[in-house]
Amino acid sequence: MGLLEGKKLLITGVLTDSSIAFHTARLAQQEGAEVVLSSFGRQMKLTQAFSRRLPTEAPVVELDVTSGEDLAALADRVREHVDGLDGVVHSIGFAPQSVMGGNFLSGEWPDVATAIEISAFSLKSLAVAAKPLMTSGGSLVGLTFDARYAWPVYDWMGVAKAAFEATNRYLARDLGPEGIRCNLVSAGPLRTTAAKSIPGFATMEDAWPQRAPLGWDQSNPEPAARAVAALLSDWFPATTGEIVHVDGGVHAMGQ
């Protein structure tokens, strides 16, 4: 019996087959889960194409996390494919390049607000939209990049991730009585679409393998995906508000 046998999961953010979200969906299916993906706009075709590369093609529902209409319709759209959810994966993030890549001091509020809404507030939006589907409790898992530090070039996305991590803690508080666990996986730098969109990201990733006691492969998202799958399973029944680091151990090392 698989780790996720019988689970019904909603996974956001499958835009390439090199992403943590894609590998989470693949592992989840291999471990017995039924998976629904979400996407929106021009990205829908990408998500549908990569869905066909999964062990079993997954349905894709429309969801723009900044759209009140989409959020209100999410439960009905998901119910067209499954009768409820046991887990949700938040793999959503965006910041305009004007507030990254060394532009912290010159960042303007409209662009910062966009980064915070999409990359942090959306965790609450998604949780509330999915909650009617999680009548028996379940697991919400998000992806972060250790927000305790001021990383080179990350700038306002780093601030958004700090807000994201705080949002997770408050969700853990408020959704715990509903039996919903809320946890994050903090992965080391990976050569994903999101990373490539950050000007100068190589300044963060180049030294990572040397600093990591276990080493670090920037081209392999599977270790992070396995952690997400584990948190979606029943093997962490009393864990919430947590951040699991999957970074080769860099988070525990001094400079």
Question: What is the model's pTM?
Answer: 0.96
For the chain, the farthest-separated pair of C-alpha atoms sits apart, in whole angstroms, at: 53
**pLDDT band at 206, cuts 50/70/90?**
confident
Q: Residue 29: its pLDDT value, please?
A: 98
What amino acid positions are annotated as catalytic residues? 154, 161
Tens of pLDDT, residue by residue over 167-200, are: 999 999 999 999 999 999 999 999 876 666 666 6
Q: Mean pLDDT, to the nearest integer, of 201-226? A: 89
Bridge partners (DSSP) of residue 87 are: 9, 139
Domain map (residue ranges) of the chain: 8-186+222-246
Per DSSP, helices labelled H in the chain are 20-30, 43-51, 68-79, 109-116, 122-130, 155-175, 193-196, 202-205, 208-211, 222-232
Distances (CA, A) of 102 to 97, 154, 195, 216: 10, 8, 15, 25
What CA–CA distance (Å, rounded) separates 87 from 249?
Answer: 27
Ligand-binding annotation for 13, yes or no, is yes
Ligand-binding annotation for 95, yes or no, is yes
Q: Domain 8-186+222-246 sits in which CATH superfamily?
A: NAD(P)-binding Rossmann-like Domain (3.40.50.720)
Q: Is 136 left (phi over 0), alpha (psi -120 to 50) or beta?
A: alpha
Q: Mean pLDDT, to the nearest integer, of 134-149? A: 97
Ligand-binding annotation for 92, yes or no, is yes
Ligand-binding annotation for 116, yes or no, is no
